[in-house]
Amino acid sequence: MHTETEALAASLRSGVHALGLSLSELQIQRLLDFLALLQKWNKVYNLTAVREPHDMLTHHLLDSLAAVSPLRRHVAELLGRGVGQGGLRLLDVGSGGGLPGVVFAICCPEVDVSCVDTVGKKAAFIQQAAVTLALPNLRGVHARVESLTQPFDVVSCRAFASLSDFVTWSRGAVAAPHGVWLAMKGKHPAEEMAALDAAQVQVFHVEPLQVPGLDAERCIVWIRPAAAG
C-alpha cells in the first residue's frame, strides 16, 4: 500500500520523465518538499485555490516544470553568447506561492531567482521556502513590479496579467539589450499578442507546452524589447 507521499513522489517522477527533464535526486526531493510547504502554509497564507495535493502536483508543479527545458535552453544560449557569466538573474512577477519561480530556482541552480509579489505574506513565504529548501539562489521580494529597476536577464510570469500589462509594468526590470520576457499562458493568446505595442516589444517565439496529466493547452510567449530605431 502506497502512502500519499509515495504516490505523489511516483507521479512526480513519471511526470518529470514524460517531460524529458533531467533532475537530480536532491532536486526531486526539493520539489516534493516545496509541495509539502505549499500544502502546509496554504491555509495561513492563502497561496493557491488548488487544495488537493495531487491537483497541486499537476496544476502547479508539473505545469511549471514544463517551462524548465525552454528556460534551460534560453539560459544556455545566453551563456553561449557570453551574457551572464557572472550569474544570470530571473524575476518571477506576481509569483504568489512561488510558481514558477521556486520551481525554476530548484531546477536551475545557476540562475538567481527573485519572486516579486505585492502581498507581503507571499514574499515572506518565498523567503521561508528559500531557507527551508536550502536555496541560496532564491529570494522573495515584497514590491509592486512597476517599482523595480534592477536589470534581469529573464522576466517570467504565470497567471499574472495580460501580456500588455505584464510587459508595460515590468519594462524597467528587463536588462538591455538582451533581456526577455517569458510569459506562461494557456491557449495561444492571439488577441493579447495583437494588443502589444509593436514599437515597444516583439514576440519572437510562441512555444507550445505539454503538461503531463493535464489535458489543456499551454504555451510560453517569448517577448523581447523592440530594437531601438
Residues 38-57 that bind ligand SAM (CB under 6 A): 48
Q: Does 133 contact ligand SAM by CB under 6 A?
A: no
- List the grid coordinates of 229: 530605431
Q: What phi and psi, each to the nearest 5 degrees, are found at residue 203? A: -80, 125
Q: Which residues contact residue 23 at a Cβ distance below 8 angstroms, ignoring those fewer than 6 apart?
A: 16, 31, 107
- Pick one of 11, 57, 68, 117: the residue that binds ligand SAM (CB under 6 A): 117
Q: Does 160 contact ligand SAM by CB under 6 A?
A: yes
Q: Which residues contact residue 174 at a Cβ distance below 8 angstroms, ignoring those fewer than 6 apart?
A: 151, 152, 155, 180, 181, 225
Amino acid of residue 150: Q
Q: Does 156 contact ligand SAM by CB under 6 A?
A: no
Pairing of strands 180-185, 111-117: unpaired
Q: Does 140 contact ligand SAM by CB under 6 A?
A: no
| CB of 1 vs ligand SAM, minimal distance in Å | 32
Given the complex with ligand SAM, which of 158 and 185 has the nearer CB atom?
158
Q: Does 58 contact ligand SAM by CB under 6 A?
A: no
| CB of 67 vs ligand SAM, minimal distance in Å | 11
Q: Does 119 contact ligand SAM by CB under 6 A?
A: yes
- Is 20 annotated for ligand binding? no
Strand ranges inside 75-193, DSSP E: 88-93, 111-117, 138-142, 154-158, 180-185
- List the grid coordinates of 154: 529573464
Residues making up the binding site for S-adenosyl-L-methionine: 94, 99, 145-146, 158
Residues making up the binding site: 94, 99, 145-146, 158
Q: Which residues bind ligand SAM (CB under 6 A)?
A: 48, 93-96, 99, 116-119, 122, 144-146, 158-160, 169
